[in-house]
Amino acid sequence: MSFPAGPLWLIGCGNMGGAMLRRWLAAGLDPASVTVITRSGTGAPAGVRSLTALPDEAAPATLMLALKPQQIDAAQALLAPLQGQPQMLLSILAGVDHAALSARFTADTIVRAMPNLPVAIGKGVTSLYTYTESEDAIAAAEAFAAPLGHYEWIADEAHFDAVTALAGSGPGFVFRFADALAQAGAALGLPVDQAARLAMATLEGSAIMAADADVSPAVLADRVASPGGSTREGLNVLDRDEALVTLLTETLTASERRNAEMAAAAR
Ligand SMILES: NC(=O)C1=CN([C@@H]2O[C@H](COP(=O)(O)OP(=O)(O)OC[C@H]3O[C@@H](n4cnc5c(N)ncnc54)[C@H](O)[C@@H]3O)[C@@H](O)[C@H]2O)C=CC1
Ligand SMILES: O=C(O)[C@@H]1CCC=N1
């Protein structure tokens, strides 16, 4: 799948926008077709035009908003003098909904995308949402999503904040789990660096195995737990009163709530 023709401008290019852009460049996107506009003028990969103000040029084919939801007013002011409108406005702003984007920006098609940080290695998850039924616009959005890893269209925008909590923020929670597993090993007396190495390698192998398995992670967990053995004793701690499920439900609920707050602030 090739990238849509025409220029791509990014407004903001920090942790997430930068990870996406670097992956696109690695997948063959022509750096000469890309312009990054940031307040600081930093963060753009080599070979990409980097500006601190809007160029005196016609609107690009694709305009991506990659700054923070709290910076949406600044983005709107920056883009006010835009000449014409982009074919696609791609927004990765957490929370900010399609209606708020349409009220502030004009484009042939607006697409919300919620990526996560592993897009940097082509193993990300990108959730997509749009009002459009144009097959060309959908194909254009998918052409940008495909090199990033797994992508899915979300049918109901009401689910987007939950999707953002699960998959957008998810790597943060998984990284925290990896750290906690290592800390727990160190608490049992293992050298700190060894515990960190073993935890990371265990997570990597388990994630790859679970992703490729034809049974659920719950079944795999039971396969690790030999009857009467030590894994079951550990799982009993995680399962008691659904402790882990309760903790993660609270975690996602807090993130989802914050996405809704950021959405409200952007309206
Ligand atoms: N970090 C992550 O894992 C994920 C982030 N997102 C979304 O990505 C967006 C960016 O987040 P991060 O990359 O983490 O933030 P960041 O702070 O790393 O990057 C923000 C970027 O916006 C630029 N910027 C700030 N004010 C500006 C202005 N007035 N005009 C132009 N550029 C400006 C900064 O220079 C920087 O390049 C957010 O909307 C967030 O919701 C979505 C999914 C995952
Ligand atoms: O923390 C945030 O607000 C963004 C949304 C998903 C991941 N990072």
pLDDT truncated to tens, each residue of the chain (267 aa)? 699 999 999 999 999 999 999 999 999 999 999 999 999 998 899 999 999 999 999 999 999 999 999 999 999 999 999 999 999 999 999 999 999 999 999 999 999 999 999 999 999 999 999 999 899 999 999 999 999 999 999 999 999 999 999 999 999 999 999 999 999 999 999 999 999 999 999 999 999 999 999 999 999 999 999 999 999 999 999 999 999 999 999 999 999 999 999 999 998
Q: What's the pLDDT at 178? A: 97
Q: At what angle do helices 230-239 and 217-224 cross, to 10 degrees?
A: 140
Report residue 38 CA to chain centroid gap: 20
Q: Judge if the beta carbon of residue 86 lies within 6 A of ligand 2.
A: no
Task: Tell me, in angstroms, the distance from the centre of ligand 2 to residue 64's CA.
Answer: 16
**Whose alpha carbon is nearest atom 1 of ligand 2?**
169
Report residue 102 CA to chain centroid gap: 21
Q: 214-242 burial, b if ≥16 CB within 10 A, otherwise e?
A: eeeeeeebeeebeeeeeeeeeeeeeeeee
Domains and CATH numbers, the chain: 8-154 (3.40.50.720), 170-262 (1.10.3730.10)
Q: What's the pLDDT at 218? A: 96
- The CA-atom distances, in angstroms, between 128 and each of 97, 125, 234, 250 are 12, 10, 38, 24
Q: Identify the burial level of 14 via C-beta atoms within 10 angstroms of its C-beta, where 0-12 means exposed, 13-18 middle and 19 or more buried.
A: middle
Task: Tell me, in angstroms, the distance from the centre of ligand 1 to residue 92's CA.
Answer: 9
Q: What residues form the annotated binding site for NADP(+)?
A: 11-16, 38, 66-69
Q: Judge if the beta carbon of residue 66 lies within 6 A of ligand 1.
A: yes
| CB contact set of 179 (below 8 Å; sequence gap of 6+) | 199
Q: Judge if the beta carbon of residue 169 lies within 6 A of ligand 2.
A: yes
Identify which ligand lies nearest to the alpha carbon of 258. Answer: 2
Task: Tell me, in angstroms, the distance from the centre of ligand 1 to residue 38's CA.
Answer: 10
Query: Which amino acid does the sequence have at 195?
Result: A
Q: What's the pLDDT at 133? A: 87
ipTM of the prediction: 0.98
